[in-house]
Amino acid sequence: MQLESLSTPCLLVDKMRFMNNISRLKSRLSELGVAARPHLKTLKSVEAVKFLLPSFDSPCTVSTLKEAKEFVAAGYRNITYAVGITADKLPTVLELQHQGAHINILIDNAVQAEAILAFCETNHCTLHVLIEIDCDGMRAGIKPSDEQLGKIALKLASRGCFAGVLTHSGGAYLCQSENEIKQFAVQERNAITQAASRIRAMGLPCNTVSVGSTPTAHYGEDWEGVTEVRAGVYVFFDLVMANLGVCELKDIALSVVTRVIGHNAEKNWLIIDAGWMALSKDPGDGNNGYGLVEKANEDIIASAMVNSVNQEHGIIHLPSTELLSSYPIGSILRILPNHACATAAMHESYHVVDQRGEMTNWSRFNGW
């Protein structure tokens, strides 16, 4: 790897790990007989997404309408926008439909349903609406037992706008063991299939029954009744996922390349040119500072982490067994991220290195 040629700080993707991570989840879901709808919020790169989505019709998930616009412009046309929508965002969705894309949108209350029906009435159109189900009490969604569920589904169905149900098991990030994640996947499946059953019992079709989070996608053992599984961060993985046991450190495909710009001999500190602007301020699970430290050759420096960050400075408190002189001014280090989505979001492109050491570049975008 010619890391010396890189301007620092910057993002590096290990392409072999990236491809392996993609294959792993694909195989697992395929064995379990359930479709994947990968989440593109981590990658946000048109060049990268072709390794994840085999065709322009492959299902995918996005977290912003900017992602939807970028991926539709690139040719993809089967997209779920998995954040609760408000009326002001509907014209963009319709515009994307006019461009030939099938966009699923998400709601969890009657006000949103009314707004969508009014919009469809005015614009003589049909939108494809999923109802968000709360499977863990962590964020949005309505409980599968909530009587509102049937009312909203009926209301949407009256104009042909009801497409199914969706849940996100964000609580799985707080699990402490593989077994807990497996249990969480059961809880997630039970919630969503209960919701789907209640809707079907009313005589409505419920075509989409969508679940997802990177932990449950990797440890769920039975997706009976579920039509698709969403996951995003697994393409890169990160320290949160490694500490959760979903991957190993050697699976993490994303790192920040940085240079040593200073030594504090009194304190045995390395100062690096990667601060929160390059690493993000995400503390992960609180165990690894702002990231673990690898040498350019990928050996992890035991007990070293980025202990503090300013905008463009990171400080590594080297353990006393490590000499500052082993890390001369100008030398390259690599920082493994706490949270790959957050770290990637601080950058405008990925440097991608393959097995032969050849380097290419993928652009990425942010914004809404």
- Exactly one of 115, 125, 249, 359 binds its own copies (CB under 8 A); that residue is 115
State in Å, rounded, how far the first CA of the chain is from the last one: 34
Residue 207, token pair as written in the block: 């075509």
Residues 228, 59 contacting (CB under 8 angstroms): yes
**108 forms part of the interface with its own copies (CB under 8 A):** yes
**155 forms part of the interface with its own copies (CB under 8 A):** no
Binding window for its own copies (CB under 8 A); candidates: 123-131, 177-185, 294-302, 312-320: 312-320
Find all residues with CB under 8 Å of 299, minimum gap 6, and list them: none
**311 forms part of the interface with its own copies (CB under 8 A):** yes
> Measured at the alpha carbon of residue 226, what is the angle toward residues 223 and 228, in degrees to the nearest 5?
100
**45 forms part of the interface with its own copies (CB under 8 A):** no
Interaction with its own copies in 56-85: which residues (CB under 8 A)? Answer: 63-64, 83-85
Q: How many whole angstroms from its chain centre is CA 253?
A: 14
Q: How many whole angstroms from its chain centre is CA 16?
A: 19
DSSP 54: S
Residues 180, 244 contacting (CB under 8 angstroms): no
**7 forms part of the interface with its own copies (CB under 8 A):** yes
The bridge status of strand 332-336 relative to strand 292-295 is antiparallel
CB of 10 to its own copies, least distance (A): 7
Nearer to its own copies, 125 or 324 (CB): 324
CB of 38 to its own copies, least distance (A): 15
Q: Which helix (H) or strand (E) segment is 104 a member of? A: strand 102-107
Nearer to its own copies, 54 or 368 (CB): 368
Q: What is the DSSP string of 242-304?
A: HHTTSS-GGG--EEEEEEEEEEETTTTEEEES--HHHH-S--TTSSSTT-EEEETTS-EEEEE
CB of 18 to its own copies, least distance (A): 20
CB of 222 to its own copies, least distance (A): 27
Site string for its own copies, 197-236 (x = CB under 8 A): ----------------------------------------
CB of 171 to its own copies, least distance (A): 12
CB of 157 to its own copies, least distance (A): 21
**19 forms part of the interface with its own copies (CB under 8 A):** no
CB of 235 to its own copies, least distance (A): 15
Nearer to its own copies, 223 or 238 (CB): 238
> What distances in angstroms separate CA 48 from CA 189, 349, 367, one per listed residue?
30, 11, 18
> Measured at the alpha carbon of residue 309, what is the angle toward residues 269 and 262, in degrees to the nearest 5?
35
CB of 181 to its own copies, least distance (A): 18
Residues that bind its own copies (CB under 8 A): 4, 7-10, 41, 63-64, 83-89, 108-109, 111-112, 115, 139-140, 170, 259-264, 271, 273, 276-278, 280-283, 310-313, 315, 328-330, 341-342, 345-348, 366-368
